[in-house]
Structure 1
Amino acid sequence: MRVFLELGWFFKERKKQYAIGIFLLMIVALLGVLPPRIIGFVVDEISRGTLTPAYLMKWLGILAGSAMIMYVLRYAWRLMIFGSSIILARNLRRQLFHHFTQMSPSFYQKRRVGDLMAHATNDLQAVQMTAGAGVLTLFDSLATGGFVIAAMAITIDWKLTLIVLLPLPLMAYLTNYYGKLMHLRFHDAQAAFSGLNDKTQESISGMKVIKTFGQEEEDVEDFRALSKKVVDENIRVARVDSLFDPTISAIIGICYFLAIGFGSYFVTNGDMTIGDLIAFTAYLGLLVWPMLAFGWLFNIVERGRASYDRIRQLLAEPADIDDRKGALDIHPEGDIIFDLEEFKFTDDDRAALRDVRFTLKRGETLGIVGKTGSGKSAILRLLLREFENYRGTITFGGRSITDYKKKKLRQAIGYVPQDHFLFSTTVAGNIAFARPEATEEEIFEAAQLAHIHQDILNFTEGYNTVVGERGVSLSGGQKQRISIARALMMRPELLILDDSLSAVDAKTEEAILESLKRMRTGETTIITSHRLSAIQHAHQIVVMDAGTVAEIGSHDQLMKKKGIYYEMYELQQLEALVEQGGETQ
């Protein structure tokens, strides 16, 4: 029952609702002990031959009145208890989602999407059951059992009551043992479900790749294996769960055996009437629910405890990056100075960046080039404060980027990543994502700057076209340009294009860059690219090689050095010439 203590913070928040619900539950349980006693009175009158219509109608009226009261009270306590459990699920769901938004990329590198979704669905449902049906079962079984036992002992015979209750300690021991087994096995079952959930999400998202490589049968086989594991783990849970009812039924059978055997003896000796024995066995029938409820209670509680443990472990993971005390609540603006000694990704002993130093004046454009894995994107991720475990300083406007609140820093940066993520909404909704209050004219203007406006007009519903999950209905170049328009809608102090023009043709690339140059006068831009045509106009170009700066300067300066940049440029010029069908000598 430890989970009820762990959820104590919520029960305190909803103490009024739970108190009213439990109080009404107690009244219902108390009224529930009336029918057996009334039956006993009527049977005794019948056995003595003294039953009158008035006597019978009096007790029938009491039964009808109590039934009506129980009907109303049951409706009320369900609203209080089950309504509160729904609010608990809502609060935990909010905490989880907020926690997800605060976590850094390293958190998502360690956690699978399917597992996180299982926490927010299956686990939350189990905790909700604990705070709803679990609380109901606990107090209803205790109240009903307590009132029934009291009625048996006080109104009929305390000796027979004591005899009948002798097997109950055995039941308590066995159900507690089953509960411990249930907790361990259900934890494994939830973990298996998370794995299946993750596999399903991954397969659906990657169905195009699966079909392209003809791996449908292999993927189905993987799914079948994971599905079998879920079934096996849940069968292990069911094997324990299946022990509750037979055990409790056996105990109840022993109780009935004792009640009838010793009760008959007491009636024969004149210590009890026939009506008392009938009432006693009826009360014993009422005890069946509390006994069975305890088995069900252990099932609910242990499932809820295992799920709540998983949720708490997730919420307990601290955010790697958080605002410092007294962080500046202003948008940064000004020069950017990058002075880095060394940076390593989490769980990687190799340095991803080392000795990276440059200064970017406000209003200038910086180009970053280099081979795949040379450290281009790592520089950008540090600017965005996705990681902080580095030696050195990064300043923006004369202050360290860690001096600003994360939200303010990122609101000043319009970031267009390599992996263009679009939401399953309209084209206009995707462009206005950071500024939902933007006017139609502002959306059109951003789209025109990104040279995607004409494409959008040709869509079926224009700007109201729903792009599909992750923009599946768009080409790579269209997704890139919509992502650029979305970043421009922020009117950022710093615009970062992380290899964001790779899917557009050279003519469109040139038009976009010209628009940015014209529109972003006095604002800073960083462009990483494999195509040198995208960055050769930059005020300064950083050439990365194996995580460090190999060369730095303008296009003309780097061409004169005839180093790495020069070789890259000449090679790309040669490739372009060959593609155009030219000849070399």
Structure 2
Amino acid sequence: MKQLAAVNKYFVRYKWRLLLGILFVTISNLFAVLPPVVIRNVIDQVQANIDSYHLVTNSVLADGMRSYIFTLVLWNGLLLLGLALLRGVFMFFMRQTIIVMSRLIEYDQKNEIYDHYQQLDTHFYKTHFTGDLMNRMAEDVSRVRQYTGPAIMYSVNLFVLSVMCIWGMVRVDAWLTLYVVAPLPLLAFSIYFVNRVIYRKSEKIQAQLSDLTTTAQESYSGIRVIKSFVQEKNMLGFFRNTSEQYKESAINLSLTEAIYFPSMNLFIGLSMLITVLIGGYMAIKGNVTPGNIAEFVIYINLLMFPISSIGWVASITQRAAASQKRINEFLDTDPKIVSPAKATESIVKGDVEFSHIQFTYPHTGILALNDFNLHIKVGQKVAVIGKTGSGKSTLAHMLLRMYDPQEGDVKLDGVSVRDFNLQRLRAQIAYAPQEAFLFSDTIYNNIKFGREDATESEVKEAARLADLEKDIATFAKGYETVIGERGVMLSGGQKQRMVLARALLKNSNILLLDESLSAVDTKTEKTILGNLNHYLRNKTAIVITHRIFTSWVFDQIIMLDDGQIVEQGTHDELMQLNGRYAKLYRHQTETNLA
């Protein structure tokens, strides 16, 4: 219950539904414990009247006595039917309050987890699998819902019904009640023992299910790669092994849970046997009536399902506790990149300064930037060139504050990025990342993702700047074309240009392009860069690339290697230096000519 204490806030939020549900449980059980009293009275009265009937069998009173007994049974039968109907109505209300409450809690909890996921920093997503994230929000939350709904409902039902039934039995005979409930402590002990085993196994199963989900998710995402390398058989074998481990654990847990139900029947059967044996003996002695024995038997039968549900409820609770523990692990993970308590409200004009940046990726230990310094003035166009792994993309991460440097600082207009509200900071930087991620939506909505309040004409202008209009015109539905998961219906160049259009739609004072034209041909690249010449007037542009853009004039070009600037200057200055940039430029131009 320590782990499940995290959901108590939801019970407080929906306290009126919960209290109303408990009221309906109480009323429905009230109508459940009244029938044994009615049946006891009927049996005792019928027995007494039958004894009287035998005395007047041959007299004129016999017909009246038979009619009275028939009427007594009939009206009490109708009363029992009415009580059963009323119990059914309030059981319906009970489910409509408590079970609906559990669905509302499930909705709130999923939203809370999803919201927390979005707040977590990039490092978290580098070290956790997508399948595990999905499983904790889907399967684990679903198991917690079983606790907040059915488990709570049946627990309250068990408590209320047990109190009412035991009170009804005590009113008849306290000693007989004590004999009847004597096996229950043994039942409680067995439940406690098995619960500890179930909790441990449930936690293991949920972890294995996350592995299974991750394996499936990666297979679906990489299906084209799997087919290209003809690895279907190997992937199936890998999935089968993971699935086999999950299956064995699940069967093992089911075997453990199977102990509950035979033990329930055993202890309830003992209670029933004690009722008949000791109750019959007491009836012979005249301490109780036959109606009392029937009343006790019905009480035991009433308690049979709630007591039997103890094992099921306990199993649900243990599974939910294991799942909630996994959920809490993520909810208790605080993002390392957060907005300051007092954030600056200034509007970014475009002055960017990297000052003595020292950064090592925490999940790999790779040194990405080493005492890096760079100042970009408002409106300047800067190219950052370097080989793979030289630290180019890390600059984008630093500027957008996806990571914070271990040493040094990044400033915008002289203000540290740590002093900005995260959402406000990122909203003022247009970013076209290296990975062209698109949503399974229309072309129009994927571009408009860049700015929610953009007009249709602005969306189309962004597409024109990215040289995407002619491609969109070839689709039958134009901008309303659904591009599939991750833009599977588009080519690599079309994906990149759509991501670029999304960034251009923001119309920010800083444009950050991270290898965003690597998949487009030279002709299309020149068209795009020509379109951007006017667009980027008075805007700061940082172009991260591994190749040289010959059609653009940059105010600064820096060559990166091992996280340090090895060359810096304009095109002419670097060509005169005759170093790495000049060598790369000559190699690229010769290749293009060839």
With the length of structure 1 as denominator, give the TM-score of the two structures.
0.96
Of 257, 266, 277, the match for 1:250: 266
Q: 1:283 to 1:534 in 2, by over 3 A?
A: farther
Of 90, 109, 131, the match for 2:107: 90
Matched with 1:36 is: 36
Mapping of 1:344-355 within 5 angstroms? 344-355=360-371
CA distance in 1, matches of 2:135, 2:225: 25
Contact 1:527–1:535 (8 Å) recurs in 2 = no
Contact 1:339–1:393 (8 Å) recurs in 2 = yes
Mapping of 1:271-290 within 5 angstroms? 271-290=287-306
Task: Give the AA of the match of 1:101.
Answer: Q
CA distance in 1, matches of 2:590, 2:318: 68
The 3-state SS of whatever aligns with 2:258 is helix
Q: Does 1:525 align with 2:541?
A: yes
CA drift at 1:573:
2.1
Contact 2:496–2:517 (8 Å) recurs in 1 = yes
Deviation string, structure 1 residues 237-257 (Cα, Å, up to 9, x no partner): 112111110111111121122
Contact 1:529–1:535 (8 Å) recurs in 2 = no
Q: 1:4 to 1:466 in 2, by over 3 A?
A: closer
Q: Does 1:207 align with 2:223?
A: yes
Task: Give the AA of the match of 1:16.
Answer: W
Deviation string, structure 1 residues 529-584 (Cα, Å, up to 9, x no partner): 12212685211101001110000001110000001111111122222233xxxxxx
The 3-state SS of whatever aligns with 2:162 is helix
Q: Does 1:27 align with 2:40?
A: no
Matched with 1:370 is: 386
Contact 1:368–1:535 (8 Å) recurs in 2 = no
Deviation string, structure 1 residues 28-68 (Cα, Å, up to 9, x no partner): 11221122222222222332316534433442343233233
Matched with 1:99 is: 116
Q: 1:204 to 1:479 in 2, by over 3 A?
A: same
CA distance in 2, matches of 1:462, 1:256: 75
Of 499, 514, 532, the match for 1:483: 499
Contact 1:3–1:301 (8 Å) recurs in 2 = no
Task: Give the AA of the match of 1:193.
Answer: L
Query: Could you tell me the percent identity over the aligned residues?
Result: 33
CA drift at 1:157:
2.2
CA drift at 1:24:
1.6
Contact 2:465–2:528 (8 Å) recurs in 1 = yes
Of 285, 289, 294, the match for 1:269: 285
Of 224, 232, 241, the match for 1:216: 232
The 3-state SS of whatever aligns with 2:103 is helix
Mapping of 1:386-401 within 5 angstroms? 386-401=402-417
CA distance in 2, matches of 1:429, 1:179: 50
CA drift at 1:324:
0.9
Of 124, 142, 149, the match for 1:125: 142
Matched with 2:457 is: 441
Q: 1:268 to 1:4 in 2, by over 3 A?
A: farther
Q: Does 1:423 align with 2:439?
A: yes
Deviation string, structure 1 residues 70-104 (Cα, Å, up to 9, x no partner): 23322222222112111111111111111111111
Task: Give the AA of the match of 2:9.
Answer: W
CA drift at 1:7:
2.7
Q: Does 1:197 align with 2:227?
A: no
Matched with 1:583 is: none
Q: 1:39 to 1:444 in 2, by over 3 A?
A: same
Task: Give the AA of the match of 2:157.
Answer: D
CA drift at 1:467:
0.5
CA distance in 2, matches of 1:314, 1:40: 57
CA distance in 1, matches of 2:288, 2:7: 47
Mapping of 1:149-228 within 5 angstroms? 149-154=166-171, 156-228=172-244
Contact 1:89–1:128 (8 Å) recurs in 2 = yes
Deviation string, structure 1 residues 102-136 (Cα, Å, up to 9, x no partner): 11111001110000100111111111111110111
Paired residue total: 577
The 3-state SS of whatever aligns with 1:443 is helix
Of 508, 511, 519, the match for 2:527: 511
CA distance in 2, matches of 1:577, 1:7: 67
Aligned-residue RMSD, C-alpha: 1.5
Task: Give the AA of the match of 1:342.
Answer: Q
CA drift at 1:268:
1.8
Q: Does 1:52 align with 2:69?
A: yes
Contact 2:35–2:83 (8 Å) recurs in 1 = no
CA distance in 2, matches of 1:474, 1:59: 75
Task: Give the AA of the match of 1:89.
Answer: E
Deviates more, 1:120-129 or 1:27-36: 27-36
Deviation string, structure 1 residues 451-487 (Cα, Å, up to 9, x no partner): 0101101112111110000011100111111111110
CA drift at 1:511:
1.2
The 3-state SS of whatever aligns with 2:418 is helix
CA distance in 2, matches of 1:164, 1:534: 93
The 3-state SS of whatever aligns with 1:430 is helix
Deviation string, structure 1 residues 125-148 (Cα, Å, up to 9, x no partner): 111111110111111011112211
Matched with 1:357 is: 373
Q: 1:69 to 1:482 in 2, by over 3 A?
A: same
CA drift at 1:212:
0.5
Mapping of 1:450-489 within 5 angstroms? 450-489=466-505
CA distance in 2, matches of 1:568, 1:545: 14
CA drift at 1:334:
3.2
Of 84, 90, 101, the match for 1:67: 84
Contact 2:102–2:148 (8 Å) recurs in 1 = yes
Of 111, 131, 155, the match for 1:138: 155
Contact 2:526–2:551 (8 Å) recurs in 1 = no
CA drift at 1:437:
3.2
Deviation string, structure 1 residues 508-529 (Cα, Å, up to 9, x no partner): 1111111111112101111111
